[in-house]
Amino acid sequence: MKLIVGLGNPGAKYAQNRHNIGFMALDRIAEDHGFSPWKARFQGEVSEGRLGSERVILLKPQTFMNLSGQAVGEAMRYLKLEAADVIVLHDELDLAPGKLRLKQGGGHAGHNGLRSMIQHIGAEFARVRLGIGHPGHKDAVAGFVLHDFAKADAEWLDDLLRGISEGAVFLATGDGGRFQNAVAARVAPARNAGRAAEKPAPTTKEAPHAPSAPDPQAPDSRTALQKLADRFR
């Protein structure tokens, strides 16, 4: 069994915030893979289903970001899981918008949700870091993450969430490489793929034949007058 956690803040006020991209990713997985309706449990909202051969519990803590570890710890104890069975999806300031990185273990890098999780369950859980970009100055970070995604972000955000959902089976079954490939195929599809096969080969006009040089061994059929004229050309 895997426990996949999305980090965010509860309530409609925060639903479209950059900080809530983890919630958004879980919502897309649950919808696309036919998971059960969300219900209140473990100080959060849970949805159950299968990804490939793996039984999966999706968890959105409702404790607010800086207390996320409380909900995750309660779920782990009840389900008898280890930290290695937990995968958390969270926003990442240090990645460009739409970029994704998968990491096992590590620190919290100032992220309050990860900080809380490490305090409650240790650091050996997997992290799916979802790039949202950086506002450019540390003093602007709080307002940036607690602000809704801009309209200009809609296209890459949708591609990223679709890619996560399409690769979710690989994520749950431990195939990180194929998971990241599935996301990359959606976010940055190969450009001009197949166009060379579809495009006809360019045609060129046939160049005029250059006059052939005279064969020195061929008999000279010129008249005496032609020979004389050729000498003065």
CATH superfamily of 2-187: Peptidyl-tRNA hydrolase (3.40.50.1470)
Burial class (CB in 10 A: 0-12, 13-18, 19+), 90: buried
Tell me the Cα Rg of the chain.
Answer: 32
**Residue 108 is among the residues annotated as catalytic for this protein:** no
Give, rounded to a whole angstrom, the gap between the first and last alpha carbons of the chain.
Answer: 96
pLDDT tens digits for 40-78? 999 999 999 999 999 999 999 999 999 999 999 999 999
Catalytic residue among 19, 33, 90, 120: 19
pLDDT tens digits for 98-130? 999 999 988 898 899 999 999 999 999 999 999
pLDDT of residue 58: 98
Helices (H), the chain: 21-32, 68-79, 112-121, 141-145, 154-166, 168-172, 176-187, 195-198, 224-231
Q: What is the pTM for the complete model shown? A: 0.80
pLDDT of residue 233: 55
CB 45 within 8 A of CB 60: yes
Confidence of residue 203 (pLDDT cuts 50, 70, 90): very low
Confidence of residue 227 (pLDDT cuts 50, 70, 90): low
pLDDT of residue 57: 98
Range with the lowest mean pLDDT among 135-139, 186-190, 191-195, 219-223?
191-195
**Res. 201: pLDDT tops 60:** no
